[in-house]
Amino acid sequence: MRRVRGFLHTRTGLWIGVALIALALLALPFALAAVGTAWVRITNLAILFVFLSLGLNIVVGYAGLLDLGYIAFYAVGAYAYALLASPHFGLHLPFWLILPIGAVIACIFGVLLGAPTLKLRGDYLAIVTLGFGEMIRIFLNNLSRPFNVTNGPQGIALIDPFRLGPVDFSRNETILGLDISGPIKYYYLLLAVLLAVIVINLRLQDSRIGRAWQAIREDEVAARAVGINTMHMKLLAFAMGASFGGIAGGMFAAIQGFISPESFVLVESIMVVSMVVLGGMGNIGGVILGAVLLSFVPEILRYTVDPLQQALFRRQVIAPEVIRMLLFGFALVLMMRFRPAGLWPSRVRKREMAEQE
């Protein structure tokens, strides 16, 4: 093991490692498609959640602001896409135009929420963001009368998929003898976007802004004393996190083709927070790990727990969904108790958590 690690630290070793991971990621959808296209879809959703978690990580991990209503920005992005590219209003704008629009709208919502509330102390902020998330959901549910904006609980269907010139992301194609289904195309697109997001996050982390966020997280008073405009920086974190959420929401709408307020409930917000917390707040690798774990665990449970229960009791005793949520709740409690910095913590964060003991 040590020899492997030593090899990875050499330059050629690093490149070989990266190349191997890249190859594996490129080949992954075909391997998954062999098992079933459903798994490609699940992977796509998992990537979206990685995306969301990285966005929330800016707010929670870097700036240390607990946002329990993050899914609201995802919802805003998704509805922005759905309203501008579906038969609902008869608008069919291209995706490269809507995604930025969604990001901007989500960003505006982020600033609207952040500006009045960021003075608040951490736990108050958490509850206010939670309330905000619920408010957005109530509006989505009810803005169907007297003017039908969101179509209420029925949601919006027949949302346009991504189209780029002749490439339609919802259609199956055969290129060079390879069957490339819609979900596989989305997979590559998501992977590319994800790569960009990771690079942005890495660059942010060590930038002036990222350092300012971390300073605020560790000691707001001290940060202010060294000349950081804490309000601006916090607002920036909120706005950036929100726009990431908005973009992810737009992609979600396009991939699913259908959205309703059901997808943007409180539990989803908590899920994203958990991904960040379990994986390791403030550490990009950790956050990705958390998001991937929590996205796949329920699917794996679905395929293992049910047959197991059928075999043991001849019926479903506990629904996998319930088991997932129970595990999840206990995991949050146990993590905070025994590994508060997450499964794969950032070094700084680990030190902070240890100091506070």
Using CB under 8 A, list all residues that contact another protein.
64, 66, 68, 116-117, 119-124, 126-128, 130-132, 134-135, 138-139, 142, 145-146, 220, 266-267, 270, 273, 277, 318, 322, 325-326, 328-333, 335-337, 340, 352-353, 356-357
Spatial separation of the C-alpha atoms in residues 258 and 187, rounded to whole Å = 18
Output phi, psi for 85, to 5 deg. Answer: -145, 60
Report, in Å, the least distance between residue 333 CB and another protein: 4
CA–CA gap between residue 306 and residue 301 (Å, rounded): 8
Minimum distance from CB of 245 to another protein (Å)?
Answer: 19
Question: In this structure, what DSSP letter does residue 219 have?
Answer: -
The whole-angstrom separation of Cα 183 and Cα 138 is 31
Quote the CA–CA distance of 230 and 222 in Å, as a whole number. Answer: 10
Residues written for the chain = 357
Given the complex with another protein, which of 96 and 124 has the nearer CB atom? 124
Name beta bridge partners: 259: 156
Q: How many Cα atoms sit within 13 Å of 246 on the Cβ side?
A: 22
Which amino acid belongs to residue 321?
E
Question: What is the number of helices (H) and of strands (E) in the chain?
Answer: 14, 6
Cis omega (within 30 of 0) for bond into 146: yes
Q: Nearer Cβ to another protein, position 138 or 199? A: 138
Q: Which is nearer to another protein, 254 or 341 (CB)?
A: 341
82 vs 136, beta carbon nearer another protein: 136
Report the alpha-carbon distance of residue 290 to residue 13 in Å, rounded.
Answer: 26
Nearer Cβ to another protein (87/329):
329
Q: Is-contact 29 42, C-beta < 8 A? A: no
